[in-house]
A and B are shown apart, each in its own frame.
Chain A
Amino acid sequence: MTPKTELFGRIEDYCLELLDAQETSTFEKELELNEELREEVELHKNIHAAITELDILDLKGKLEAIQIENNPDTLTNESFELFDEFTQIQEVTEKLAPEELINSFESLPKVHVYQHEIASKENIHHYYKEQNVSNEVDVMEDDLNGFDMEGLEGLEEAVLETDILNLRETLQQVASSVEPQYSVTDIDEFLNGELSDDILAEFEVELEQNDDLQGEVSLHKDIELAVGEEDVMDLRGELRNIMQSETSWNVSEKSIEDFIDGILEEDLLAEFNAELEENTDLIAEVALREHINNAIAESDIQSLRAGLAKARTDADKKEVKSIVMPHFEVGTTRFWRNSVAMIVVLVGLAGILNTGLQSVDKSYNKYFESPTWASERSVTNTLNTIQTAQIHFQAAEYQKTIDFLNVTSIAKDEAFVAEFYKGLSYQNLDDFNAAILEYSKVITHGNNMFIEEAEWYKSLCYLKLNNKLEAKQELVAVIDRKGHYEKDAKAILRRLRYSFK
């Protein structure tokens, strides 16, 4: 139904009081605002009133009957004799073109004719056409064939071609869901010259005409070149390591200290100030050191803290294992003084100073938390090797876990599970070298879910062994994975950076 016929239907319903209360109220509100609608409703009411004037119609019928009785030969449709000559008037009798009718005034006939015009152009199945054949329809079609759809020629036909519209939509869906004609294997074989002659000829014809295939082949070639650039990948890796582990300022530690102490030589001072203006890392470093100096000056607070720390140590019997073993060089007194100062202050005052630096006394124990062995469901009633080892591990029987895993044969595809938990067991037993060996196997295996954890625990082992270089490398690898341990690894790296320099 077109909006116009819908509207006329609504007007009719309103006139016949067929609308419900809400609809009536809405309609009346609209009626108040819309003059055009008011006129239409008025017209409808008049037509309605005219049709329902039964007394007049009755009278008219009777008069006609009288006329027929008096003059049976004259059978006309006209009322009264006033219409006798109407047939002679051209304007009244001539047939109106539909567009003239539409342009003349707004009313029901206009819509009616318009709908017929649409209907006349609908694609109707022959079966239904045959059933609807009548002279009346023919006449109507003849009348409306001249209807001028200026500028809209073909529009209706196009809109009504729903079958074509559906087909087009289906084709689009099919195109987006269908896999490309040539797989990775085919393209690879083409690039490696492994396609048979007939398939190669077919492929080349397709390649010439198919933009998507050209794109795929080009992507394969580029990937091959990109993957071959081992040197670029290595360089990128090295740069990333440098950026993560090195300080970004171009002045020596001595210069920073001299600057803070106000004894930096004039020529160096200008250079230092120039860098300090732009280098935010250097600004932060200078601020940190100044805070440390200020904190050291608070000797009373320091002694209080020392007392508190001693009391806490006495209360807590647990051994604290430091991951950081400061390395002092006798002779470099300034460095010694500063390092000791940093450690003392960072242990006690990091929170208060709000420098963002955590305590150097973060222990290995803080980071090394032996994980629980994730329980697995068994499909059989008997315990398999891994499950038995798991029971030992969960009971903290680490030596038993290792012994059991050493003597039992484990399926190759599960070996990394055993290696990982053996590593953890060794680590729990403080046998860090053995643990590192097991973790390395897990990492070398390459395709398992324990790699990140293995790297993380391996780095902790290196820390415990005071092997800073290896520890840094493992920590950088952990950071690169951007996984669960990234934040902790960064924290340790930062601490190493500030503690070992």
Chain B
Amino acid sequence: MINYTDAQILKGILRHDNLILQDIYKQYYYKVNYFIKKNQGSEDDASDIFQEAIIVIYRKLKENDLIFEKSSFQGYLFSVCRFLWLKQLEKRRIERERLNDSLPFQEDLYDDNLVELVDQNAKYGLYQKHFKTLSTDCQKLLQLFFEKVPLREIAKIMGYKTEKYAKTRKYKCKELLIKRIKQDTEFKKILEDDT
């Protein structure tokens, strides 16, 4: 089994390298799973938290905001997982004082930037979840539109006869997306947290 360096792992995450991602999963997932199960979570909770922690790290990498000075990839990953789980416990109104800390973590990583990023990730994750429930043509249409592709071009790509139809269809898709987001109880919780 290859032992990747932290730099290789980070590059791998940036490239979505399947081998690196598999390696991360095999090396660290069971520890996160153990920690979450010890702290009133389930297998599903563990896999959600693990996945979102990698996404948070990816977002940090994209922003060039991830330098390991005192920490390592492992330490950072565990700290983010722990932080995400603490937030979940808070949402579920479960006391966090009695936390069974089996993961090594660094409190000093929990700065405003991380809090903000985690909140944004939760919000965007929710929007993306509902976006993925739209029909494939709705997804494609909205993506093209947000990529600022001209309507004429969009109509051509999507096989619509007129630009006007493309525009109307886009509104309908977006309306449906917004409706689904607003109906999600998680969205209401996010709104409450924001206020």
Contacts and interface: CB of A to CB of B under 8 A. Distances in A.
Interface string A216-258: 0001101111111111111110111011001111101000000
Given A219-B181, A243-B47, A250-B1, A279 B34 contact: yes
Interface in B126-157: 127-128, 131-132, 135-138, 142-143, 146-147
Contacts of B125: 236
B116 to A, nearest CB: 14
A377 to B, nearest CB: 26
6 contacts: A220-B178, A223-B177, A228-B146, A231-B16, A248-B29, A278-B102
B25 A243 contact: yes
A325 interface: no
B165 interface: no
Contacts of A234: 16
B26 A249 contact: yes
Given A235-B54, A243-B47, A446-B135, A248 B127 contact: no
A470 interface: no
B31 A278 contact: yes
For the residues of A in contact with B, the DSSP-based class is helix
Contacts of B178: 184, 219-220, 223
Contact of A222 (B30, B37, B54, B127): B127
Given A222-B127, A248-B33, A250-B1, A233 B147 contact: no
A227 B147 CA distance: 10
B133 to A, nearest CB: 10
A188 interface: yes
A206 to B, nearest CB: 19
Interface in A185-230: 185, 188, 215, 219-220, 222-230
A225 B124 contact: yes
A315 B59 CA distance: 61
Interface in B32-48: 33-34, 37, 47
Contacts, number: 120
B71 interface: no
Nearest to B31: A278
B58 A229 contact: no
Contacts of A281: 30
Given A233-B128, A236-B55, A236-B128, A223 B18 contact: no
A337 B27 CA distance: 28
Nearest to A244: B47
A223 B129 CA distance: 11
A188 B59 CA distance: 27
Contacts of A246: 22, 25-26
A141 interface: no
A206 B35 CA distance: 49
Contacts of B27: 250
Interface in B145-195: 146-147, 171, 174-175, 177-178, 181, 191
